Amino acid sequence: MPLDGIVTYALVEELSTELVTGRMTKIHQPTEHELIITVRKNGQNKNLLLSVHPNYARVHLTNEKYTNPKEPPLFCMVLRKYLGSGFIKSVEQISMERIIKIRVTSKDEIGDSLDYDLYIELMGKHSHILLVDPSRNVILESMKHIGFSQNRYRALLPGQTYIFPPDQGKINPLKLDPAEFVKKLDFNTGKIDRQILSILMGVSPLVSQSIANLAYLGDEKKYIEVFERFQTQLMENDFYPHIGRGQKEDFHVLKNVQLEEPTTSYETVSEMLDTFYQGKAERDRVKGLTYDIMRLLKNERSKNERKIKKQQQTLKKAEDAEQYQKYGELLTAHMHLVKPGDSQVTVIDYYDPDQKEISIELNPNKSASENAQQLFKQYQKLKKSKEVVTQEIEKAETEIDYLDRLIQQLEDAREEDLEDIRAELEDEGYLKRKSTKNKKKKKKVIHFDRFQATDGTEIYVGRNNKQNEYLTNRQADKEDIWLHTKDIPGSHVIIKSSSPSEETIVEAATIAAFYSKSKHSSSVPVDYTKVKHVRKPNGAKPGFVTYDNQQTVYVTPVESEIEKLRMKEL
Distances (CA, A) of 402 to 72, 152, 534: 38, 52, 18
Distances (CA, A) of 8 to 2, 164, 344, 519: 10, 17, 87, 33
Q: In whole angstroms, give the CA distance from residue 31 to residue 454.
A: 36
Per-residue pLDDT tens over the stretch 157-173: 999 999 999 998 999 99
Confidence of residue 568 (pLDDT cuts 50, 70, 90): low
User: What DSSP letter does each residue of 14-64 carry, written as one string?
Assistant: HHHHHHTT-EEEEEE--SSSEEEEEEEETTEEEEEEEE--TTT-EEEE---
Confidence of residue 408 (pLDDT cuts 50, 70, 90): confident
Mean pLDDT of 453-468: 93
Beta-bridge partner residues of 551: 528
Average confidence score pLDDT of the chain: 90
Per-residue pLDDT tens over the stretch 113-154: 999 999 999 998 899 999 999 999 999 999 999 999 998 899
- pTM (2 d.p.): 0.65
CB 485 within 8 A of CB 494: no
Q: In whole angstroms, give the CA distance from residue 256 to residue 522.
A: 32
Dihedral of the alpha carbons of 3, 7, 8, 9, in degrees to the nearest 10: 160
Return the pLDDT at 416: 75
3-state secondary structure 421-446: HHHHHHHCCCCCCCCCCCCCCCCCCC
- By percentage, how much of the chain surpasses pLDDT 90? 60
Report DSSP state, residue 176. Answer: S
**Region of poorest pLDDT, from 187-191, 193-197, 216-220, 310-314:** 216-220
Mean pLDDT of 456-485: 94
Longest dimension (CA), the chain: 117
Element housing 396 (H / E):
helix 368-411
Per-residue pLDDT tens over the stretch 475-523: 999 999 999 999 999 999 999 999 999 999 999 999 999 999 999 899 9
Per-residue pLDDT tens over the stretch 258-312: 888 888 899 999 999 998 888 777 777 777 778 888 899 999 999 999 999 998 8
For 139-159, letters b (16+ CB in 10 Å) and e give bbbbbbeeeeeeeeebbbeee
